[in-house]
Amino acid sequence: MPEQSSRIAPSAETELRADALRNRQRILHAAREAFATRGIEVPMAAIARRAGVGMATLYRRFPSRESLVTEVFADQFAACGAVVDVALADPDPWRAFRTVVEKVCAMQVADRGFTAAFLTAFPEAVDYEEGRARAERGLDTIVRRAKAAGSLRADFDLADLVLLFKANHGVIADTGDDAADASRRLVAYLLQSFHTTSPTASPTASAEPLPPPPKLGLASLLTR
């Protein structure tokens, strides 16, 4: 194992010529914008044009669409992780849960490409794997705590979060300016279903029995 110092960023951002690095940033910026406004399917050529570089430059820096998407959404995933971390520090379990849900859904609204990346993202993009696992553990903790506090229904399943994110995506997709309103409303409805209103009520028996949860793990957000 001759490697030592270059743990992160294998094909690093260093050891790139000044102009190359500048263009790389430009491409990322342009891609971010393009994905956000036109969705993840925007043609590579459009990104190149917006970035003011040629196709070759784009493809030299990011050999495939996938690698570009991965890179572009890396920090957005990081932001998700941060949301989870903040929530973990919240002493109020229900507020923590609610906040995570609301914030992530708001992120989905803000950047429609983000959700698409979530949902259609490439299973091979193992780069996310670590962060994803961490986020999943965090969410699990938050859910557990909220249940223990009696504010989240006992039959809530982690997969229900996937359900919610996908539903939110559906509400946002192909919806114009009303997307924000629509999303907020959906989230409010679902949170009310998730919430156990009576703090002292029997913690096991929930409002009404539910059909079985889907077998989707959080991974299915990335795995299809």
Partner DNA sequence: CGCTAAACGGAGAGGGTTGTCCATTTAAGC
Partner DNA sequence: GCTTAAATGGACAACCCTCTCCGTTTAGCG
**Taking CB within 5 to 8 Å according to partner kind, which of DNA, a second copy, none is near residue 53?**
DNA
Q: Is 214 in the site for a second copy (CB under 8 A)?
A: yes
Looking only at residues 145 through 174 of this chain, which bind a second copy when binding is defined by CB under 8 A?
Answer: 160, 163, 166-171, 173-174
The answer to whether 47 and 58 have CB atoms below 8 angstroms apart is yes
Q: Is 143 in the site for a second copy (CB under 8 A)?
A: no
Q: Is 64 in the site for DNA (CB under 7 A)?
A: yes
Hey, what are 101's tokens? Answer: 């849900």
**Taking CB within 5 to 8 Å according to partner kind, which of a second copy, DNA, none is near residue 64?**
DNA
Q: How far is the CB of 224 from DNA (least distance, A)?
A: 18
Separation between Cα atoms, residue 127 and residue 119, nearest integer Å: 16
Looking only at residues 174 through 213 of this chain, which bind DNA when binding is defined by CB under 7 A?
Answer: none
Of 8, 9, 12, 18, the one binding DNA (CB under 7 A) is 18
Hey, what are 222's tokens? Answer: 């990335």
Of 19, 124, 174, 177, the one binding DNA (CB under 7 A) is 19
- Nearest CA among 130, 155, 128, 134 for reference residue 143: 155
Tokens 């491409």 correspond to what residue? 27
Q: Is 219 in the site for a second copy (CB under 8 A)?
A: no
Looking only at residues 190 through 209 of this chain, which bind a second copy when binding is defined by CB under 8 A?
Answer: 190, 192-194, 197, 207-208
Instruction: Count the neighbouring beta carbons within 10 Å of the beta carbon of residue 144.
Output: 13
Provide CB contacts within 8 A for 30, sequence distance 6+. 47, 48, 50, 51, 52
Q: Is 65 in the site for DNA (CB under 7 A)?
A: yes
Q: Is 50 in the site for DNA (CB under 7 A)?
A: no
**How many residues of this chain interact with a second copy, rule: CB under 8 A?**
38
Separation between Cα atoms, residue 79 and residue 5, nearest integer Å: 26
Task: List beta partners, residue 195.
Answer: 152
